[in-house]
Every structure is written in C-alpha cells, then in structure tokens.
Structure 1
Amino acid sequence: MEIKRKNKVSLGMLFLFTLLLNLVLSPVKVDAAETGQNYTIATDVTFAPFEFQDEDGNYIGIDVDILTAIAEDQGFEFELRPMNFSAGLQALESNQVDGMIAAMSITPEREEAFDFSDPYFDAGPVMAIREDNDEINGYEDLDGKTVAVKVGTTGAELAAELQEDYDFEINQFEDSAGMYEDVVARHSDAVIEDYPVMAYAIQQGLELSFPTNPEEGDSYGFAVNKGANPELIEMFNAGLVNIRENGTYEEIVQTYLGDSVQPGQSLGFFGLLQNNFGNLMSGLGRTLVLTLISFAIALVAGTIIGLFSATPSKVLNVIADLYVTVLRGIPLIVLAFFMYFTVPQLLGIQITAFMAGVVTLSLNTTAYIAEQVRGGIAAVEKGQLEAARSLGLPYGVSMRKVVLPQAIKIMIPSLINQLVITLKDTSILSVIGIVELTQTGRIIIARSYQSGPMWIIVALIYLIIITLLTKLSNLIERRLVAND
C-alpha cells in the first residue's frame, strides 16, 4: 500500500510539473502597454529579415519591429503566434488569430478574403541560383529544370506564370530556409522569393546569386479576417503614419537592410549548440509536455476503448472498432488542421494551439493504445478467464484481478514504444503554431542558415531522449519478469 501511495504522489507531482512547465513555455507575449486590447497575431518566424527569432529567443525583424512600434504608439498589446505562412492564412480565416503580419502581399484574391492595412513595404520576387551555377542566366534557361517556391507566396504565383511559357517543375516548401537549402543541396536548380528576403539571406552567407533583376514589386500589408477587427486595422494605419513621421520606420528598415548590417558567421556544430542551447531546451520542454499530457490522457482512454473490444457486448465492440478504424485512418497532420481550424469554425469557439495539439495527439494515440490493450488481453490464455469465472468471480472482477495484470506485463514494451512514437509525432504540430523541438530547429536555421549542423543537433536530442525511454522500458520489463 505504501508503494502505491508513493506512486500516486509521484504521478501527481509529474502532472503538476507539466502544467507549470506549460505555463512557463506559453507563446511569447509582447507588451506594448499596461492597459488596452490584447490581440493574437500570426506570423511566419522563418522569413528573415521580416520576422525571425534571435539567439535570445526574442522575435525580431522588420514586421515585428514595425508592429511593436505601432502597438506602443496606439496603446495595445499583442501575442505572436508563429506558424508557417499557409497555416497562418488558415488560422486568420478561421478566426484563431486576430491578425497576420508576415510580409504578406496585398493581392486582389487575398482582398476578397481579408481586410488589409495601408501598405507598409514594397518588394518584388526575384530568382536566385547557386553561385557555381553557370547554366541559368534567365527564365528561358529554366526548361527541364526544377524551381523551389514557398506555398502561397507571390514567388509561387510568379513560378506558376512562368511555367506556362517554360517547361520546368516546381518544388513547394512551407518555409524559406527549406527551399534555400534545397537549391544549395542541388535538388532544385533555382528558387523564387521576395528580393529583400533573398538579399538578406545572401548577405548572411547563403551561397546563392541573382541571374535576373527583381520583378515589379508588390505591397506588403497587415491583414485581418474580412469584416473582423476593423479597429485593429485603424490603429495599425494610424500608428504607421506616426512612425513614418517620427523616423522610427526608417530606423527599423535600416537596421535590417542598411549598409551597417553585419554578415552572418558560420558557428559550426558546437558554436551553434552553445548559442542556441536555451532555445533548444525550451523546444524540448514543449515536446515533453505535449508528449506526457497527451500520452497520459490516451493511456486512460485507450484502456477503456481496448476493454470495449474485449467485452462480450457487440455494441461496445462496434464502438471500439469504429473509433480505431477512423482515428488510425486519418493522417495526424490532417487531424491537427481539423482540430485547430475546422472545429472552431463549426462550433464558433477559439482554442489554443497547445490545446488543439494535446487533443490531436490524444485522439491519435488512444486508437493505437486501444489496439495494444486488445492485443494484450487476447494474448492471455482464455483458460485464465474461464477458470476465474468457474470459481464464481464476476466478469469485471475476473478481468481486473486475473487477466489485466498478465496483459499489462505483455503490453509494457509496446506502450513504451507508443510513447516514443508520440514523442516524435509532436514535430507535426508545428503546422498549427506550436514551437516544439523540430520547429525550434527550423527557426534557428532561418536565422543562421546552417541546416546541416542544426538537424544533427536536433536528431541527437531526440536520440538521447528516446534512448532513455528505451532503457526505462527494458528496466520495467526486467523488474516485471523478476517479480513473476
């Protein structure tokens, strides 16, 4: 009894710890005033120099600094919600965020769905190639080649237009750093992106060059959903006028695009790890919190549904089979989008990205644990249950006292394996704005343009955690065998 009591206390402490850690690692809130309205703003934090994260974990860039200056001028507060560009558009359309600032071009198509502020920056797309590529000198040389673009951007639109005249393939990416690296790694021959972004990347050491001049520019605007938050657009426009007049706007632009901008330095493996250790540990913390909370919920729910499969009741069998079939048949990324974008629209509510992530992982993991519970029970000889029933024990007592203890020993390795899978599945949740370990790596790459060393670091962190979980599984299994 004392051991069980200690285990309950330990589980309680673990639950409290995860809740506290979640509070510590909540999305970044940028305070512009002590009072006033607080807004949630979506942004793409892998789009330097407009939005990215510095080595201290602060969100900076032309867009972020402009929004911060306007918030200070107009007396409102905002919280940044980092996610990829296309997911940000979906979040804005489903009212999961109040606004979006992500170097977003004002186009007639987008104006049908969103309300835009006055333009705050003009830029046009440009094509870039590897520095050592002497085969491409213009668009006409793209025949038979591959061009990398970012989903939903004007660069992607330009590539689609060029594809009507030239025979080339398009590789689509969710972040800028990914498509740059695709070109450097020779998987794509060219990339089309907004000129200031590409120029900044080259200035920071990316080995690309421009064979053509930039196209005619589009205007960037701050966006809200159609008919929503008109006061936010008004404050943005009024603040933009003020920061242009007092010189703040020009100072911000020169900070990132002026002649005084220092080129980036290659830090190498250990330098990259040392400079970003805190950010990586924060990302790991979010990963562990999501994993532990989701798995704990799924363990309870999965056990219940697994027991449904093992009962003589046909109705409960059908319920369990239906749940497992549906949830295992839906890809996790689709489920994440459904929970975060579709459910709020259907129910007229708002849910946080963290809550949507926990629900997504829990629903998915529950289906697999249910099957593991069913399989564990099925692995116990039927004679065990029959013998217990013949002694006059009710079905429920027979399952609880005789079958389940044996089934649990059989299930331990597969449950630990499922915990490892859930840990790795958290990386998918970056699509709805959760900055877990993998997304943290992407953000660092967007700033440093050192994808090789960073992905090795992220892989090693996952490897260490998963190895520890595997050792734990082996230890538990040995102790259970020793107690037989």
Structure 2
Amino acid sequence: MKSLRVLLFTMSLLLITAVGLPGLSLYASAEPVSEKTYQIGTDVTFPPFEYQDASGNLVGIDMDLLEAIAKDQNFKYEVKPLGFNAAVQALESNQVDGVIAGMSITDERKQKFDFSEPYFDSGVVMAVRKDEESVKSYEDLRGKKVAVKTGTEGYTFAESISSKYGFTIVPFDDSAQMYEDVKTKNSIACFDDYPVLAYGAKQNNGLKVVNEDQRELGGTYGFAVSKGKSPELMEKFNAGLANLRANGEYDRILDKYIGANAEVAAQQGRMELIIKSLPALLEGLGKTLLYTIISLFFACIVGLIFGFMKVGRNKWLRGLATVFVDVFRGIPLIVLAFFIYFGIPQAFDFTMPLFLGAVLTLTLNAGAYMTEIIRGGIQSIDHGQMEAARSLGVPYRKAMLKIIIPQAIRIMIPSFINQFVITLKDTSILSVIGLVELTQSGKIVIARTFASFDIWLTVALMYLIVITILTKVANSMERKISRG
C-alpha cells in the first residue's frame, strides 16, 4: 500500500506540472502586434508548402507566405500543425480560424468555406520508383495499384480515370506514406500535385516524375476560413497577398523552395540522420509519456467510481456503470477522438483545447477498462470474507476498504500494468486530431528526410525501451506489494 501511495503521489505531481506547462502543442507564431491571435491549421507533411526543418521550425511556401502577410498586415497568429484532414475538420468545427495547407479551391469546398484569392496554380503529375521503366503512360497502370493522398487534386484526378485505365486506388493520409507505398512496390505509381512531387524527387525521395511536361490541369490553392466567419482575416490575407505580389516578395518565396536554385538537402549518413532526428523524437516521447500518465491518473479515478458502482448493491448504479463500460469499450478510439475533439465542439459551437480533447479521449477509453479491472479484482475475492466481516459487525464500507480492496489490489496490479502499456501505445492514434507525440514526430521527420526505415526503426526501439523499463519497474512494485 505504501508503494501504491508513492505512485499516486508521483502521478499527482506530474499532473500539476503538466497542466502548468505552456506550449504542449507544437506551433509557430508571428510577433505579437495586435490583440487578436488567429489560430491557423496546417498540414505537417506536405513539402515544399509546409514541413518541419531540422531545427523543429515549420517552414515552406505556405508558412513563409503566412508570416510575410501577417507582418505586412500587422496581425498575430499561431499555427496548429494538425495534418490536412484534421485541419479541415478543425476548421469545420471552429477549432481554428483558418487553414493554409496547399488546399485546392473546389466548388464542393466553397459550400463550407470562404477562400482567399488563389496564391498558387498547381497541376497533377504521376510518379514512379526511380528505377521503374515499365510505366510510360496511364495505359501501363492497367491491373495495378496506384497510391494517392486523400483530399488532394491527385486523388480526384486518379479517381476520375481509374475505371478508364483499369487501376485500383490505394488512399493514404499523408504524402510520405504514399511515396513509401510506391518505393516498396506495393503500388506501381502515385498521383500528386506537381510542385510536391517535383520537390520530393529533387530531395532524393526515391521517385521520379513521369512525363513532367504533360502534367494535368489542377486546381488553385487558397487560404480558407469557415463560411461567413473571420471576414477581417480574409481581408487581411488578400490585401497582404496583393502587396507581396507587387513588391516581389511572393516570387522570392517561391524561388526559395521551387526555383531553379532551390536548396537541395545535403545527403546524411544513417547515424547522422538518426542523431539529428533524436531531439524531435525525444520531445515526442516526452509528450507520449505525459499524456499517458495524466490520462491514467484520471482513468484510475473514473475506474474506481464506476468499479464500485458495478459491485455495489444499487441496481441503478450498476446499470449506469455497465452502460459506461459498454459505450466506451465499444467505440473505437479513433472514432471517439474525432467525436470528442471535432464533433462536440461543432455541435455546441465552442473551442476545445487539444490537450483537453486528447486527455478526455484517453481517460474515457482507459477508464472503461479500469472499471472492469477493478470490478474483476473485487469480485475475485471470496464472498465469504465479506460475509464473515459483516457477521462480526464490521460496516460494509469499512470491510470493503480494510479487507477486500487490499487483497484485490494485488490481483489487479498485472492488469493495471497492461493497461498502462496499452494506453501508452494508444497515444499514437491521437495523431489524427493533431497530437504531436512520438509517432507523429516520426511522420514529421520522415516528411523532411524520406528515411522511413531508419526513423520508424528508431521510433519502434524507443517504444520498446520505454515499455520494457516501465514493465520491469511495475513488476518490481508488484512483487513488493505482494510481499507487503
């Protein structure tokens, strides 16, 4: 019991520290020059428009344009790197004021969003492995698989010709995954916006563009805000964009990333790449542990409440606890995350902090399992012990606290350890709502380096080391409690 109290005390301190930590989410901001701070959603794996450099800064055409426009128009902003799909959903649910993420202006999107004047004219091209020689035209795709990124012009174009040329579409959420599918020969080719594929090929991502001079007509990119909202932000963006075009800054930004003299990343050795990537990955690991500990702290409280309700004598409370467990064990974690972070704020028109959305999701999910762990532990104790205590005049609550629960804790410890490990790994799923933890940090690094094998191996080893250490510590604690 002493070890258990030490554990709870430590978790409490971590919780207090975490709540007070500023900047739990990765963002970049302009200099504060006005009272209003606009929240801007963006992608994190879409070079050369937005990506994270080796120093951890968000850079790219979109990021430089936004910074220059904010400086020109004197407004303050914070960038939320959510990923494209999450950024669009955040805009729909009013979690952000605007989105700049290489977002094509389409008639369908105009029904939900207001767009700025176009700031880039794109086009769709096809790419294959650098050593692939069998694909020269769309006819060569027949009977094969083609990778695309959801929500892009490349996806729309591939879908429009897939039946004509007889190929199967394989959708991915980010460009790096799409490229890897082609490099590993699971798909024969991919479709994406011309500047993105051309930039990647120049940075040695292992692909080459097919028929570069015959790219398909694509859409234009625009800055988006929710329909009828933030007109002042849209006015500032358009005015700033016009000024950048007039003074030549717009052209300088484009030339920096996709011009003839655009910088090409220096080739790095395997160990050099891993060492330079470690700071970002360790920061992601720290957030993974932080969210896990905080969520399990609250999940234990929730589990205790509903666990006692399930073993109590009140049938209404037992029924309520059963519903809680069935609901939050039955809903997949990714669906629960979307519902809590995007669905609820949209329905009730308020903004939910990412920190709260992530912790609430993990707490409810883990709390349901904790409830069953506690119920099972208590009910595993021989009923005769409670009957003996009651026959000796010991009150029900005192008998539960002094006799049943101490024995149940010893039985529950292995399950608690297992739930800790599960929740630690479940944090990776929350990257879908923009949480930059260890897995998402790996994706961001890969988007810049295109080194999937090295980075995913490093991430896997980091998870393995941490989980092994935690398991050993927890097993030692279990032995001490059992002897006590």
Instruction: Name the counterpart of 2:291.
Output: 290
Over 3 Å counting, the alpha-carbon distance change for 1:359 and 1:114 in structure 2 is same
Instruction: Compute the displacement of 1:45 (Å).
Output: 1.1
CA distance in 2, matches of 1:236, 1:40: 14
Residue aligning to 1:51: 50
Quickly say closer, same or farther: Cα 1:24–1:106, change in 2 above 3 A.
closer
Q: Counterparts of 1:474 and 1:2 in 2: how far apart (Å)? A: 15
Deviations 1:359-404 (A, max 9, x none): 0000000000001001111111111111111111121111111100
Are 1:182 and 2:181 counterparts? yes
| Structure 2 partner of 1:104 | 103
Give yes or no for the alignment of 1:252 onto 2:253: yes
**Partner residue of 2:200?**
201
Residues 1:113 and 1:270: Cα distance change in structure 2 (over 3 Å): same
AA aligned to 1:208 is L
Residues 46, 393 of structure 1: alpha-carbon distance in 2 compared, 3 angstrom cutoff: same
Q: Is the 8 A contact 2:11 2:293 kept in 1?
A: no
Q: Distance in 2 between matches of 1:386 and 1:355?
A: 43
Summarize the Cα distance change of 1:450–1:4 in structure 2 as closer, same or farther, 3 Å threshold: closer
Partners of 1:98 and 1:224 within 8 A in 2: yes
- Amino acid aligned to 1:85: F
Aligned to 2:445: 444
* C-alpha deviation, 1:238, in angstroms: 0.2
Distance 1:276 1:457 in 2: 9
Secondary structure of the structure 2 residue equivalent to 1:217? strand
Q: Which residue of 2 aligns with 1:470?
A: 471
Q: Secondary structure of the residue that 1:192 maps to in structure 2? A: strand
Q: CA deviation at 1:264?
A: 2.8
Q: What residue is the counterpart of 2:310 in the other structure?
A: 309
| Alpha-carbon shift at residue 263 of structure 1 (Å) | 2.7
Shift of 1:3: 8.6
Structure 2: distance between partners of 1:469 and 1:281: 17
Pick which of 241-250 and 355-364 moved more: 241-250
SS, match of residue 146 in structure 2? strand
1:41 corresponds in structure 2 to: 40
Cα distance 1:321–1:266, how it changes in 2: closer, same or farther (>3 A)? Answer: farther
Distance 1:332 1:8, change over 3 A: closer
1:94, distance to aligned residue in structure 2 (A): 1.1
- Give the secondary structure class of the aligned counterpart of 1:152: coil
Where structure 2 has 5 or more consecutive residues not aligned to the other structure, the ranges are none
State whether residues 3 and 477 of structure 2, in contact with CA within 8 Å, keep that contact through their aligned partners in structure 1: no
1:13 maps to 13
Q: CA deviation at 1:276?
A: 1.9
1:148-167 matches, within 5 Å, as: 148-167=147-166
Q: Deviations over 1:100-126 (max 9, x none)?
A: 001111111111111000010111011
8 Å Cα contact 2:310-2:317 kept in structure 1? yes
Q: Distance in 1 between matches of 2:74 and 2:88?
A: 26
Give the stretch that moved more between structures: 274-283 or 419-428: 274-283
Aligned-residue offset at 1:164: 2.9
**CA distance, structure 2, for counterparts of residue 13 and residue 24 of structure 1:** 19
Q: TM-score, normalised by structure 2?
A: 0.96
Correspondences of 1:251-290 after superposition (within 5 Å): 251-290=252-291
Q: Contact 2:124 / 2:191 at 8 angstroms: preserved in 1?
A: yes
Question: Which amino acid counterpart does residue 19 of structure 2 have in structure 1?
Answer: L
Deviation per CA, 1:408-435, whole angstroms, max 9, x where unpaired? Answer: 1111111011011111100111111111
Superposed CA RMSD in Å reads 1.7
Cα contact 2:3–2:481 (8 A) shared by 1: no
Structure 1: gaps of 5 or more residues: none
SS in 2 for 1:193: strand
The CA distance in 2 between the partners of 1:445 and 1:5, in whole Å, is: 42
Check whether the contact 1:268–1:453 (CA below 8 A) recurs between aligned residues.
no
Aligned residues: 482
Determine helix, strand or coil for the equivalent of 1:30: coil
Taking structure 1 as reference, are residues 339 and 8 closer, same or farther at Cα in structure 2, changes over 3 Å only? Answer: closer
